[in-house]
Amino acid sequence: MPSELDRKVDAALAEVTGPGGRIQIGHDEQGRAIVTNLPPTLPAMFDAFCMLHAATDAVVADGERLTFGEVNAAATRLAHALVGGWGVKKGDRVAIAMRNCPAWIVCYIAALKAGAIATLVNGWWQPDELAHGLRLTRPSLVLCDAPRGSRLGACGLDVPAAVLPVDRPIEEALAPLFARGGGDAPLPEIGPEDDATILFTSGSTGTAKGALSTHRAVTTGLYAYTIGLLSLLAIMEHEGRPPANPPKTLVNVPLFHVTGEVPVLLNSFVIGRTMVLMAKWDPGEALRLIAEEKITYFVGVPTMSLEMMQHPDRDRYDLSSLTDIAAGGAARPVAHVKRLQQSFRSAQPALGYGLTETNAAGCGNFWQNYADKPSSTGRPHKPIVEIAILGENDRHLPPGERGEIAIRAASNIRGYWDDPEATAAAFTADLYLRTGDIGYLDEDEYLFIVDRKKDIIIRGGENISCQEVEAAIYAHPSVSEASVFGIPDERLGEVPAAAVYCETDRDLTGERLRAFLEGRIAPYKIPVRIWVHDSPLVKLGTGKIDKKVLRDRYGSG
């Protein structure tokens, strides 16, 4: 039976998206819901909402404050320079490889306005991983900060690049790009079905794939979140409790992740929400910034809110401005929900579920509903998202039955860059995206995730392909067999571990193998424990290594 809050949300949603509502809904050629009265492309979205919120602070970082009007003006000027001075053409890939900073945001907007496909490089990648991503997408230009520029140099690739001093004020940070001139070059026309972004995703197949999205897909994912916020705002206003503070968010998740890009960055432009950037995560600094800047909204992987709860300085700060603490990217332990409510009295916990491949659209659980069903990721983002549970031959299963979770939405990616086989395998005939997660829907449409079909580990929100890590281990000449799997971790949810078989080398240890992996794969992918065996690993009847037995054997660490 729907909860009282469910009924309120449904009524508010009908008000927001119904006749005369603030959001008008239509359908694309495939019958998927789209928003018809908001800009369908990212450049038009930035222009419209930066004009609306021109005088509001958009970005706060390193002592610099930029309004939405200033950010958009800098990005538009840079877009002209990219076209005229750097020769960027419509459809080119422009890669962005930087830490969170104002220059990242301005470069992202500028690349889109120049007609390029903004290619968001994982900032933690090491040279081999970076080389794979760049060889796959073949960017015409890489915009990077100094540390990523150094890794780019180690790749040995002949890729045009500009290294920006991102720790300087925005005008100085972008000076190397403006130096070539070209500021009077015309910008191309951009349509909803033009390609907009490539984000990298680690699935079960090893090396990262490039998830390609159109402008329509990204803006639809964005507006799914906008509709949800407007519905909650309508409830608060009807109940006579409008927000006490202007919206501000602490940007502590990487902007190259879909969570950082869509519900955090892009949605902030739509609702006029100030973004306070963190270059790297630090729970004590996060608490200070929440108090100093009067942050209202916090989202991060569950470990981040846990670390703030446990921080010894938490009670030193006035955190009363904080009204929402959301999590995504990994499961939040049920026990954390009540602890969050007790630790942050003014804030309510929330949980989201979405994928890179859906531009973050999926499900959301919040407020009292989250307290009542803390093991659920919530109901679909209506009216944008349709959820199905797939059984044999892609049959849609009824409530209560377990199967593969699939999502149909206009926010879904066009496909994987230069990988038609993976693209074809990702979608059903009726355009549902296969998520690789196993779950079920209850009678109230709440989604419960119970397992993963794909062989990946989610370490604090970061996807790790077991196959990719195994390949790196097999590069050691003494390793005969290797199996990588996740083991529980109280802080990060799960972390990678490995069992290996060495047929001849009796001196190889887990620590030596971990040292071998340093610099070959990103640090977060390196197994925290490696057990070295002097006999073959346990096998299934098929001859494959029995990962479940190994996980059960070593699951306690």
pLDDT tens for 226-246 read 999 999 999 999 999 999 999
Structure tokens at 373: 């069903």
Q: What mean pLDDT comes out for the span 215-232?
A: 97
Confidence bin at 510 (pLDDT 50/70/90): very high
Q: What is the pLDDT of residue 539?
A: 73
H helices of 396-545, in order, are 420-426, 466-474, 510-517
**Ramachandran sector of residue 186 (left: φ over 0; alpha: ψ -120 to 50; beta: rest):** beta
CATH, range 1-385? 3.40.50.12780
Contact at 8 Å (CB) between 484 and 554?
A: no
State the burial class of residue 118 (Cβ atoms within 10 Å of its Cβ: 0-12, 13-18, 19+).
buried
How do strand 141-144 and strand 161-163 relate by DSSP bridges? parallel
State the burial class of residue 43 (Cβ atoms within 10 Å of its Cβ: 0-12, 13-18, 19+).
buried
**Closest C-alpha among 485, 492, 490 to residue 531:** 485
Lowest mean pLDDT among 377-386, 455-464, 506-515, 526-535: 455-464
Lowest mean pLDDT among 192-206, 327-341, 462-476, 504-518: 327-341
pLDDT tens for 348-394 read 888 899 999 999 999 999 988 888 888 899 999 999 999 999 999 99
pLDDT at 66 over 70: yes
Q: What is the pTM of this model?
A: 0.87
394: three-class secondary structure by DSSP: helix
Confidence bin at 556 (pLDDT 50/70/90): low
The per-residue pLDDT of the chain, averaged, comes to 92
Lowest mean pLDDT among 85-99, 124-138, 196-210, 217-231: 196-210
Measured distance CA(191)–CA(193) in Å, rounded: 6
pLDDT at 557 over 60: no
Q: HEC profile for 454-489? A: CCEEEECCEEEEHHHHHHHHHCCCCCCEEEEEEEEE
Residue in this structure with the two tokens 């699939």, named with its chain if needed: 406
Higher pLDDT, 107 or 461: 107
pLDDT at 135 over 60: yes
Measured distance CA(124)–CA(398) in Å, rounded: 41
pLDDT tens for 46-57 read 999 999 999 999
> Residue 209 forms beta bridges with which residues?
201
Please name the fold of domain 457-554.
GMP Synthetase; Chain A, domain 3 (3.30.300)
Confidence bin at 450 (pLDDT 50/70/90): confident
Measured distance CA(391)–CA(324) in Å, rounded: 36
**Closest C-alpha among 49, 410, 42 to residue 190:** 42
Structure tokens at 52: 């609306």
pLDDT tens for 307-341 read 888 889 999 999 999 999 988 766 666 666 777 77
- To the nearest 10°, the Cα dihedral for 279, 285, 288, 290? 50
State the burial class of residue 334 (Cβ atoms within 10 Å of its Cβ: 0-12, 13-18, 19+).
exposed
Q: What is the pLDDT of residue 555?
A: 79
Contact at 8 Å (CB) between 211 and 201?
A: yes
pLDDT tens for 148-181 read 999 999 998 999 999 999 999 999 999 999 999 9
Contact at 8 Å (CB) between 253 and 303?
A: no
Enumerate the domain spans of the chain: 1-385, 457-554
pLDDT at 205 over 70: no
Q: What is the pLDDT of residue 344?
A: 82
Structure tokens at 397: 């299963």
Q: HEC profile for 260-317? A: HHHHHHHHHHHHCCEEEECCCCCHHHHHHHHHHHCCCEEEECHHHHHHHHHCCCHHHC
Q: What is the pLDDT of residue 65?
A: 98
Residue in this structure with the two tokens 């007609």, named with its chain if needed: 115
How do strand 64-67 and strand 57-61 relate by DSSP bridges? antiparallel
Residue in this structure with the two tokens 């538009």, named with its chain if needed: 76
Q: What mean pLDDT comes out for the span 39-44?
A: 98
Contact at 8 Å (CB) between 22 and 16?
A: yes
Measured distance CA(513)–CA(478) in Å, rounded: 10
